[in-house]
Structures are given as structure tokens and as C-alpha cells.
Amino acid sequence: MEEKELEDYKKSIIENMKSVGTYKDEFMDIINSLAKIYYDYNDACNKFRQSGSNFMIKHTNKSGATNIVKNPYYLVIEGLRQNILSYSRELGLTPAGLKKINDKELIKN
């Protein structure tokens, strides 16, 4: 993993959190995790493109039968998208996540 890319993702996440007012030092573990997920997502997208960008591919199983299946790279991309959305929501980087955080703040005050 290239450290510069990872640091760029972290920096971007922190800047976005600061711009919506949700940044706290205590969130660095989840920020680091989200940065790694972004890195993995970018890597999977590159490999998907290199493999021909086909959503469906032919797969021959060990008994010799050939079936049409979802491209494994695309399956990884789909999962990583869900993780990005989930982590971003927790950090207040989606409209729903930010609303939830703001509503909690209103209740506290």
C-alpha cells in the first residue's frame, strides 16, 4: 500500500469532517479504517478496469461446467461501496449521518 495515497485519503476525510463540523481526534481509528477502505476501493476499481470492466464473466468450475457469474472484482467494489457509505454515515459525511449527529446535539443541549 502506498502511504502517500493513504495519507491523502485521511487528509480528505478530515477536511470533509471539519467542513461539516463533525471532526474529533477520537475518531482517528475509524478515519484510518475509512481511508484504507477508499484505498482498497480505488485498487479494486483499477483491477476491474484492467480486467475489461465486464460486470458478468464466464467461470468454469472444477467439474468443467461454465456459468455466467458476476465479476469478482465488481463484487468487491459493491461491498466496499457499502462500507464507504456506512463509515461515512457514522462520521457525519452523508446527509442522513449528519442529520443524526445534529439531532443528537440538539437533544444534548
| 109: pLDDT strictly greater than 60 | no
Per-residue pLDDT, averaged over 47-60, amounts to 94
In the structure, what pLDDT confidence band is assigned to residue 80 with cuts at 50, 70 and 90?
very high
pTM: 0.85
DSSP string of 50-103? HTT--SEEEEE-TTS-EEEEE-HHHHHHHHHHHHHHHHHHHTT-SHHHHHHHHH
Q: Which one-letter amino acid corresponds to residue 58?
A: K
CB atoms within 10 A of CB 103: 10
Q: For 2-46, what is each residue's pLDDT tens digit?
A: 899 999 999 999 999 999 999 999 999 999 999 999 999 999 999
The rounded distance, in Å, linking the Cα atoms of 84 and 87 is 5
Question: How many Å apart are CA 62 and CA 59, to the nearest integer?
Answer: 10
